[in-house]
Amino acid sequence: MGRYLEPTAADLIAPSGATVETLNVGVKTTGTIAVPEAEDGMYVLRMNPGRMAALATSTARSFVLTGNTQNFVGPTPRLYILPAPDAEEITIILESTPPGETAAITIWDPTGAEVFSGFTHDNVSVVRQTYPLTDANRGAWSFKIDQVPGGYIEDALVTIRGALPYFATDPARLVRIAGD
């Protein structure tokens, strides 16, 4: 099993940059980080689950995941991504490990129009969609990962290309770094 028995480490970092709390939890255990008197601003939860799956829940209204690739272990809320300023196309890739693990994906363009709905299954482990970018569609694209009827999601890997490395639950949380 190797790393499957490693604990999950998490740090909550306050808007000031100070570490609020550090937490390590093992297999089938839970931990809580509470912030009774939260500062105004953005908190950062940094997690390293090793090779285990980790579940983080929050009372926050929105969150942003950083990185171009995320591994989901269940259905997601609608997640928003923003094309990179110099990208000519945007690609969203969903991978799962069939036959047992499957995942569905729905993709919407910046106008809110559904442009794709599909899923992985026993014979298809990768769903890849690429869209050319124009001045008219450089706003926030979105997607949602769902369970396939009769299947289950354990490892649904989503990779974005031609986009800034952020997945947000609220398009207002998507920002461009100075110089991008």
pTM exceeding the 0.85 threshold for the entire prediction = no
**Choice between 54 and 57, residue whose per-residue pLDDT is larger:** 57
CATH class of the domain defined by 66-173: mainly beta
Answer yes or no: is pLDDT of 51 > 70.
no
Answer yes or no: is pLDDT of 5 > 70.
no
Which among 56, 117, 59 has a CA at the least distance from the CA of 92? 117
Summarize pLDDT for 78-128 with one digit per residue, the tens.
999 999 999 999 999 999 876 778 899 999 999 999 999 999 887 778 999
Which among 91, 116, 90, 117 has a CA at the least distance from the CA of 104? 117
Domain ranges of the chain: 2-59, 66-173
Percent of the chain with pLDDT over 90: 38
d(CA 28, CA 22): 18
Question: Which pLDDT score, from 0 to 100, does residue 173 have?
Answer: 81
